[in-house]
Amino acid sequence: MDLTIQQSCPSCGADIELNEADRLIRCPYCDVRNFMVTRGPLRFVLPDKAPPHIDRSSLFFAPYLRFKGNVYYCKGKYLKYKVVDTTLQGINASALPPSLGLRPQAMMVSLVTAKVKGTFLRQTIKAKTLLERAALLTEIDSETIRAPFYHRAFIGETLSCIYLPLYMDNGILHDGVTNKALSRGSSRDKMKERGVPYREAWTPHFLATLCPHCGDSLTGERDSLILSCHNCHSSWEEKLGKFHSIAWNCVVSKEKEPYYLPFWKMSVRVTGVAMDTLADFLRITNQPLVIQPKHQERELVFVLPAFKVRPSTFLRLGKNMTLKQEEIPQGEAHMVKRMHPVTLARKEGIQALKSVLAEAALNKNKLLPLLPEMHFHPLTTELTYLPFFDKGHDFVQEQTGISLSKAVLRFGRKL
């Protein structure tokens, strides 16, 4: 479940509401669009309900680490996956609640800014520990499988920090949300020693959504990671606080108003095993096809969804699009109207390559043990928009006939 966030418009200062996945921020008051740039995990704070006599500058904020994403893992002859949303204390403190429960989803949180007064308790538990806990959940899920792990990947994950407000009253530490007493005999001075002040790097900054090439407005949806310029037909991604152009194309459709879905086309070099061409891919995954000269001549390319969907759908699309890549014609750098937003970053696609390869393998007993020694090195990456036509409850890809449920596509916007 997404968090609901209260944020001030960077242009006019008005209060606006965001979802956790939002990056393109449009203010309903001044109608200005800005793109949010983060430097590390987003940091949120729960609203405090401390009594009026408590000075807000004396509040303490305890960090909780949150992981939300999909975990893929290969164990024995199985490829498994799990959607995980878990929270972990960011400090070792037995007096604090072990988890925030449903409070982050039930309450509107705010981004940590200089307006938040008080002391932030120093995070002592690393994010790696949270990832290990997320991985442990998959191990528990597969504890009946008595076989070694060959591969694990975190795809489409979101790491964030949520601060729980605390306050001292008559020597008793209180939960600043419920006003429940947590422990007696706490020392304000000792807690201050464990704290740090607000840091500017914690607060996101914003980029004006103007095309760096022609100056026209860049377009996209709230959760778009790639913005488009319909004036000079260019696509842009944010990197290190600036917009950088990316290679992209759009496959021409014979339909009147198709719906275009984005895919990452990645040519890769593989070390550890011999897999340089499409023929090698077909051979190592044991596909029931006759290897032809055209397969030997075609370089190894993976075609993966550039949008979030359920793990089972992501693997199916990645496998089938990669197997049917010969049926996909080369596109043109020409913008169209109905384009689904890119919500899965390029680096996430790279991390998913082994999982898609494992999904494509018909003989997993033979392939999965090879995964630890395989290493994928991306050579080129191109964003390709493929046309899908409306078939009622489904979208069907025009060239390959691959279908995708509309409901699954909508649900993916909430992952």
Q: Give residue 142's domain range.
A: 38-204
Residue 297 has pLDDT above 80, yes or no: yes
* Within-domain flag for 326: yes
* Within-domain flag for 240: no
Q: Do residue 198 and residue 309 come from a single domain?
A: no
CB atoms within 10 A of CB 136: 11
Both structure tokens of 245: 């152009």
Residue 137 has pLDDT above 80, yes or no: no
* Within-domain flag for 16: no
* Helix (H/G/I), strand (E/B), else coil: 412: helix
* Within-domain flag for 7: no
Residue 146 has pLDDT above 80, yes or no: no
* Within-domain flag for 231: no
Q: Do residue 57 and residue 186 come from a single domain?
A: yes
Q: Do residue 157 and residue 251 come from a single domain?
A: no
Among 204, 232, 256, where does a domain finish?
Answer: 204
How far apart are the C-alpha atoms of 306 and 415, rounded to whole Å?
13
Closest CA to 80 of 385, 340, 355: 355
Residue 375 has pLDDT above 70, yes or no: yes
Banded pLDDT at 166 (limits 50, 70, 90): very high
pTM of the model: 0.92
* Within-domain flag for 33: no
Banded pLDDT at 145 (limits 50, 70, 90): low
pLDDT 10s digits, 178-206: 999 998 867 777 888 888 889 988 989 99
Banded pLDDT at 284 (limits 50, 70, 90): very high
> How many domains are contained in the chain?
2
* Within-domain flag for 226: no
Closest CA to 78 of 143, 135, 26: 143
Q: Identify the bridge partners of residue 355 per DSSP, sorted by sequence position.
A: none
Q: Do residue 278 and residue 192 come from a single domain?
A: no
Q: Do residue 308 and residue 376 come from a single domain?
A: yes
Determine how β-strand 242-245 pairs with β-strand 234-239: antiparallel
Tell me what pLDDT residue 190 has: 80
Tell me what pLDDT residue 189 has: 77
Give the residue-averaged pLDDT of 64-70.
90
Q: Do residue 42 and residue 181 come from a single domain?
A: yes
* Within-domain flag for 209: no
Q: Do residue 265 and residue 357 come from a single domain?
A: yes
Q: Do residue 278 and residue 346 come from a single domain?
A: yes
Among 148, 178, 204, where does a domain finish?
Answer: 204
Banded pLDDT at 139 (limits 50, 70, 90): low
Under DSSP, the state recorded for 296 is H
How far apart are the C-alpha atoms of 220 and 342, rounded to whole Å?
9
Tell me what pLDDT residue 158 has: 86
Q: Do residue 157 and residue 292 come from a single domain?
A: no
Tell me what pLDDT residue 144 has: 66
Q: Do residue 257 and residue 372 come from a single domain?
A: yes
Q: Do residue 271 and residue 195 come from a single domain?
A: no
The residue that leads in pLDDT, 186 or 249, is 249
**Average pLDDT of the chain?**
91
Banded pLDDT at 367 (limits 50, 70, 90): very high
Tell me what pLDDT residue 140 has: 55
Q: Do residue 46 and residue 178 come from a single domain?
A: yes
